[in-house]
A and B are shown apart, each in its own frame.
Chain A
Amino acid sequence: AQSVAQPEDQVNVAEGNPLTVKCTYSVSGNPYLFWYVQYPNRGLQFLLKYITGDNLVKGSYGFEAEFNKSQTSFHLKKPSALVSDSALYFCAVRDIDDYKLSFGAGTTVTVRA
C-alpha cells in the first residue's frame, strides 16, 4: 500500500520569504514522487517530479523539492514566495510497479503581500 501525509493544512508566509510545504510518503518499493498545484476552480497542475537521480529536483515557477529517502520525505520549497503562489498544493506518490497516484490531503498556501 502507498500513502502520503501532508502534516500542515495551511501554510502562511509573507511575500519574499521562503516557502516550504511538507510531505512524507510510504510505499512498499521505490517511489515516484510528484507535486501538483490547484488554483480555485481549476484542475491539478503538475509542478515537478522525482523519479531517480539527483535528490534535488527543480520544477515550474521556481519551485524545487528534495527527496530524502531516510526520512521518506519530499518537501516542496521556493526560496522567495509570491502572492500568486497562493493555492492548494498536493503531494502524490506512486510505486514504480503501480499505475495510480496516491495523494495527500493538500496544503493551502497563503502568501500575504
Chain B
Amino acid sequence: EPEVTQTPSHQVTQMGQEVILRCVPISNHLYFYWYRQILGQKVEFLVSFYNNEISEKSEIFDDQFSVERPDGSNFTLKIRSTKLEDSAMYFCATGTGMREQYFGPGTRLTVT
C-alpha cells in the first residue's frame, strides 16, 4: 500500500538555523498539507498546497515558513531562523481531493 514518507525522522538544529523538512507524497495525490504537533498538544494545521500554490495557511504559518514542490515529487517545508518554540513533530499529509488525508510518519524537530 502506498505511503507518505518523510525525511529526516529526527532533526536537531540550533536556534537561528534554517531547516528543510521533506515529504514524498503518494504518487497520484495532488493536495499537500503540513501539520505540527507540539509535545502534549493538539495536531495543528500549518498550510495546504495545491496546483503549485498555497491554498490556505494558518496564523502559525508566518514569514518564517515556506513550502514548495521543487521537482514535482518532493514537498518541502522550510523554516528560516528556527526558534525554540518551533520544536515539534511535523507531519506531512497528502490527498486526492478535499476528503481524507494520508499522513506521513513525521519529522521530530528539536531546536536547541
Contact = CB atoms under 8 A, between A and B. Distances in A.
Nearest to A95: B98
A100 B33 contact: yes
A96 interface: yes
A101 B42 CA distance: 12
Contact of A103 (B31, B42, B50, B102): B42
Contacts of A102: 45
A99 interface: yes
Given A42-B105, A43-B106, A96 B43 contact: no
A103 B45 CA distance: 9
B98 A99 contact: yes
A34 B43 CA distance: 14
Contact of B42 (A32, A44, A104): A104
B90 to A, nearest CB: 11
A100 B58 contact: yes
A68 interface: no
A39 B112 CA distance: 27
A44 B56 contact: no
B2 to A, nearest CB: 13
Contact of B99 (A32, A45, A100): A32
Given A34-B100, A43-B91, A99 B31 contact: yes
Contacts of A101: 33, 35, 43, 45, 93, 101
A44 B100 contact: no
Interface of A: 32, 34, 36, 42-46, 49, 51, 90, 92, 94, 96, 98-106
Interface of B: 4, 6, 31, 33, 35, 41-45, 48, 50, 55-56, 58, 91, 93, 98-106
Across the A-B interface, give the 9 residue pairs with the lowest CB-CB distance, nearest first. Answer: A100-B45, A99-B48, A44-B103, A43-B105, A103-B43, A43-B103, A99-B56, A49-B100, A46-B100
